């Protein structure tokens, strides 16, 4: 709002400056003129169709391989030797879908034993490998 004391009346004169409002309105008019034709165009979207005939594949049960402190191995809580472990890993690697091999080792197990089991699993063709941990109380 602008005030001036000049003029013929001798009192204050109040004029509203509409120039900024006109500028904003012209900018909005130009924006709407450009975007309005774009709103009327149709966009074709190809969405995938659900197939009700496809059955869900249940993931296989993971394999629990425990390694004790002294190096003893247990395949799903059944003791195994290194030779049996290699054979079972080869059989498990051929399954489709392949089960996950979850290695659970004691805290004091030597890392060399864990590394050798991982190398055997890789050479047998196992792709999915995980590590299980135990809580503070050993459970």
Reported as a single tens digit per residue, the pLDDT across 18-48 is 889 999 999 999 999 988 887 777 778 888 8
pLDDT tens for residues 72-104?
Answer: 999 988 999 888 889 999 999 888 888 899 999
Asked whether residue 44 is domain-assigned, the answer is no
Residue span of the structural domain in which 35 resides: 2-39
pTM over 0.95: no
Are 69 and 128 members of one domain?
A: yes
Average pLDDT of the segment spanning 9-23:
81
Q: How confident is the model at residue 132 (pLDDT cuts 50, 70, 90)?
A: confident
pLDDT at 116 over 80: yes
| SS3 letters across the chain | CEEECCCCCCCCEEECCCHHHHHHHHHHHHHHHHHHHHHCCCCCCCCCCCCCCCCCCCCCCCEEEEECCCCCEEECCEEECHHHHHHHHHHHHHCCCCCCEEEEECCCCCHHHHHHHHHHHHHHCCCCEEEECCCCCCC
| Structural domain count, the chain | 2
Are 29 and 69 members of one domain?
A: no
């Amino acid at each position: 709002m602008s005030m001036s004391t000049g003029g013929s009346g001798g009192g204050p004169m109040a004029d509203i400056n509409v120039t900024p409002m006109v500028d904003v309105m012209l900018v909005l008019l130009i924006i709407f003129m450009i975007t309005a034709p774009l709103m009327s165009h149709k966009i074709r979207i190809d969405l995938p169709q659900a197939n009700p005939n496809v059955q869900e594949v249940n993931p296989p049960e993971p394999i629990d391989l425990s390694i004790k402190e002294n190096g003893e191995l247990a395949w799903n809580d059944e003791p195994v030797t290194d030779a049996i472990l290699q054979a079972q890993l080869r059989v498990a690697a051929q399954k489709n879908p392949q089960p996950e091999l979850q290695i659970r080792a004691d805290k004091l197990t030597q890392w060399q034993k864990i590394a050798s089991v991982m190398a055997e699993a890789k050479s047998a063709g196992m792709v999915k490998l995980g590590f299980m941990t135990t809580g503070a109380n050993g459970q």
